[in-house]
Structure 1
């Protein structure tokens, strides 16, 4: 848990310069205080940035995220703040940790792993996957460009038939 501190201490000035916003999804309370402090500092200093978003997924599990969202939805239904008829995919999405973010277009999985590992199960429904044997520390720009090139060749159907767009 010292890696975020090392990274943000070194790169926060560059993130600011490049207008990158830092956010975090997961249970921050379960992290060590020094990690919480450096994340809170980066989030605060970049909160008005409007460029790319650097989203740290720390102490995060998608199943837990979905369970927590369901508990809040059920509480809101029980309290009369939400009708059961209003609960649909859009509503569920609004209660997830990523509600303010677009769904990912591409998931790059390194290290030869071919599993999701409880990561963004809801959000990855229409995401394209790209797998590589390259270990994360060795993942470089040419490997990234290879993934992007492969992605650009894909026909995205979002669950529909070939040639149909996203609804």
Structure 2
């Protein structure tokens, strides 16, 4: 399609303009996925303290505490990665491959956390009383748009090897 010169993105050459927009969206997803993960963790933590089985909170069980601890570790790592990427972005040193690392990791881990939170919540985990299933559904769609896991793996692979596989 032919467009008038004034319809072109200012300063964009080739696909750099649209890909620049994608990278901005992908960077935002890094933070958003961690927000969803934190919400799921908070729901599971709250419920583990208030839900009693056999006369005591389920949070008093080692398995539940181990799950909560693992969830917290992944949330904290994801937030630290997002912060690191943000600092690179502020300096103008953030690369597309680094953004791909952030999106791929954040969405993957947020989904794992949502699934663990749903398991801790048991039957309550599928109700609208808790935000876990809503976050899980949203994260599944986020996993697909702005580049699937496989696309980000190829971006990272190209950065590692110097060879394009797509």
Q: TM-score, normalised by structure 2?
A: 0.29
Comparing both chains, which one has the higher relative contact order based on Cα–Cα distances under 8 Å and sequence gaps of 6 or more? Answer: 2
The structure richer in strand per residue is 1
Report which of the two structures shows the higher radius of gyration computed on alpha carbons: 2
Q: TM-score, normalised by structure 1?
A: 0.29
